[in-house]
């Protein structure tokens, strides 16, 4: 009986803590949140129909048109986190769709047998573009964390609970399987293997994203129509004599998506980036309450036209991973065998993702990879 009472007591404490939002945040935080939520960038959060939180549905205008006070500040912090996270989810959905179709195009080029160089160049661009999303993922997670840090019970401190986009943004930054593909060999089997690994990476990230969208009701985005528009635009450019490979066209489109998301939903929201710690901070209003912040020695990088935070992050990643130099492999014919051994050693247990629905798929991908490469040796690799 005592054990049951203790369990009930702990459950009550747990329930009270998680329903304690809006219980008297500080006046300083109220002013900061008012200032932050007045930034014009919030007008760009127009791709979210409503959010779902504690079995209630909240529309943007129903939430942000209300005054913020000490007793409801925590609620506004949570709403802001979820609305922005859902908007990020919509952008990631478009990016994953584009990259997956990019991968299909590279696979088509490889299977057509017309030009190994085109398939190679397509795969290299796809690999680089997939890795290029990492800086944006870091900024997205850091931005959401910076909002939550003003909550009395921030989600960032509750490690046993996954909050919005936490899973997909965390695993997007774990690009080890992709980094190991660099530099890529100009060989049909190696290119095929790289495309399979990129496909696996993207599909698993997309599944994580779907699980992370439980709080979101997004406005309808017709991805198929968008893809048709891109194809029509590409055809129009060809008729105008502006010809380029389709994968370069896709590369430009995805770069534009990434840059637009960064500008509208990071820069225009006033987020401040610390290049020393890779942390994001909310903008602080220049009023008396912020007097204590004047003498801070933190190297805060304001987003201006001459500072590209994503480029800063990318260069930091390059310094940590100097092998991310997408150049052709010279004469190292053992790379495919080494890649196979590393892949098998690292992923045979498939313990990175513990969702049952994904295990069978990952196992099939692994078996397909092993079957394709178990017979490859250095003598069978032909260099171009």
**All residues at 6 or more sequence positions from 273 whose CB lies less than 8 Å from its CB, including other chains:** 139, 142, 279, 280, 281, 300, 301, 303, 309, 312
pLDDT, tens digit, 9 for 90 and up, residues 240-258? 777 778 989 999 999 999 9
For 168-203, the pLDDT digits (tens) are: 998 888 878 888 887 888 888 999 999 999 999 999
What are the φ and ψ backbone dihedral angles of 279, each rounded to 5 degrees?
-105, 155
Which stretch, 99-113, 151-165, 299-313, has highest mean pLDDT?
Answer: 99-113
Average pLDDT for 271-291: 76
Q: Of the ranges 27-31, 123-127, 248-252, 345-349, which one carries the lowest mean pLDDT score?
A: 345-349
CA of residue 297 relative to chain centroid, distance: 30
Residue 22: pLDDT band with limits 50, 70, 90: very low
Burial of 186 per CB tally in 10 Å (0-12, 13-18, 19+): buried
| 41-52: pLDDT as tens digits | 998 889 999 998
The whole-number pLDDT of residue 158 equals 63
Name, of 209-218, 321-330, 373-382, the range with top average pLDDT: 209-218
CA 49, CA 59: separation in Å to the nearest integer?
7
- Note the Cα 244 to chain centre separation in Å: 28
pLDDT score at 255? 93
Q: For 327-337, how does the pLDDT look when each residue is reduced to its tens digit (9 = 90+)?
A: 434 333 343 34
pLDDT number for residue 194: 92
The confidence score (pLDDT) of residue 99 equals 96
Give residue 198's pLDDT: 93
Least confident of 143-157, 162-176, 346-360: 346-360
Cβ neighbours of 86 (radius 10 Å): 24
What pLDDT score does 162 carry? 65
- Predicted structure pTM score: 0.74
Task: Give me the pLDDT at residue 359, please.
Answer: 41
Q: Using one digit for the tens of pLDDT, what is the confidence trace for 224-234?
A: 889 999 989 98
Name the residue among 70, 79, 138 with its Cα closest to residue 311: 138
Higher pLDDT, 133 or 350: 133
The interaxial angle of helices 246-262 and 116-148, nearest 10 deg, is 10
Residue 145 has pLDDT above 60, yes or no: yes
CA 219, 220, 223, 228 dihedral sign is negative
Name the band, by pLDDT with cuts 50, 70 and 90, for residue 221: confident
Q: Which residues contact 246 (CB under 8 A, 6 or more apart)?
A: 105, 234
Q: Pairing state of beta strands 279-281 and 216-218?
A: unpaired
Residue scoring higher pLDDT (263 or 244): 263
Q: Could you tell me the pLDDT band of residue 277, with boundaries at 50, 70 and 90? A: confident
User: H or E element: which one contains 51?
Assistant: strand 48-53
pLDDT over 60 (residue 306): no
Q: Would you kindly state where each structural domain of the chain is located, as residue ranges?
A: 2-330, 338-375
Angle between helical axes of 188-212 and 356-373 (0-180°, round to 10): 180
> Residue 352: its pLDDT value, please?
38
| Predicted confidence band of residue 159 (pLDDT cuts 50, 70, 90) | low
Helix axes 223-239, 73-112, angle to 10 degrees: 50
Tens of pLDDT along 366-375?
455 445 444 4
Phi/psi class of residue 221: alpha, beta or left (left: φ > 0; alpha: ψ in -120 to 50)?
Answer: beta
pLDDT at 182: 77
Lowest-confidence region among 84-88, 271-275, 312-316: 312-316
Q: What is the dihedral of CA 114, 120, 122, 123, to 10 degrees?
A: 130
């Amino acid at each position: 009986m005592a054990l049951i009472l203790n369990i009930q007591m702990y459950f009550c404490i747990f329930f009270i803590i998680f329903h304690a939002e809006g219980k008297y945040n500080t006046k300083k935080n109220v002013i900061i949140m008012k200032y932050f939520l007045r930034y014009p960038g919030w007008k760009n959060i127009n791709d979210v129909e409503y959010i779902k939180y504690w079995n209630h549905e909240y529309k943007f205008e129903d939430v942000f048109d209300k005054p913020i006070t000490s007793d409801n500040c925590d609620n506004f912090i949570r709403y802001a986190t979820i609305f922005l996270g859902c908007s990020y989810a919509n952008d990631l959905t478009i990016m994953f769709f584009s990259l997956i179709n990019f991968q299909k195009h590279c696979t088509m080029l490889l299977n057509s047998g017309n030009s190994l160089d085109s398939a190679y160049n397509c795969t290299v661009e796809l690999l680089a573009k997939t890795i290029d999303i990492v800086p944006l993922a870091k900024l997205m997670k850091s931005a959401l964390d910076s909002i939550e840090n003003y909550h009395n019970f921030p989600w960032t401190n509750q490690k046993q609970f996954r909050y919005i986009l936490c899973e997909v943004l965390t695993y997007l930054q774990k690009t080890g399987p992709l980094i190991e593909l660099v530099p890529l060999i100009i060989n049909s089997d190696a290119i095929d293997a790289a495309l399979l690994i990129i496909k696996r990476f993207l599909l698993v990230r997309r599944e994580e994203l779907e699980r992370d969208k439980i709080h979101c009701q997004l406005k309808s985005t017709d991805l198929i129509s968008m893809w048709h528009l891109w194809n029509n635009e590409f055809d129009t450019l060809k008729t105008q004599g502006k010809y380029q490979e389709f994968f370069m066209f896709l590369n430009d489109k995805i770069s534009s998506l990434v840059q637009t998301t960064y500008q509208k939903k990071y820069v225009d929201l006033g987020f401040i980036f610390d290049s020393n710690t890779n942390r994001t901070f909310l903008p602080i209003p220049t009023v008396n309450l912020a007097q204590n912040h004047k003498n801070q020695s933190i190297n805060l990088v304001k987003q201006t036209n001459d500072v590209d935070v994503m480029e800063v992050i990318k260069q930091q990643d390059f310094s940590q991973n100097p092998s991310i130099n997408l150049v052709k492999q010279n004469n190292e014919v053992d790379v495919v065998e080494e890649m196979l051994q590393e892949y098998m050693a690292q992923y045979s247990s498939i313990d990175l993702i513990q969702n049952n629905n994904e295990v069978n798929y990952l196992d099939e991908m692994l078996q397909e990879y092993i079957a394709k490469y178990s017979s490859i040796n250095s003598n069978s690799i032909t260099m171009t």
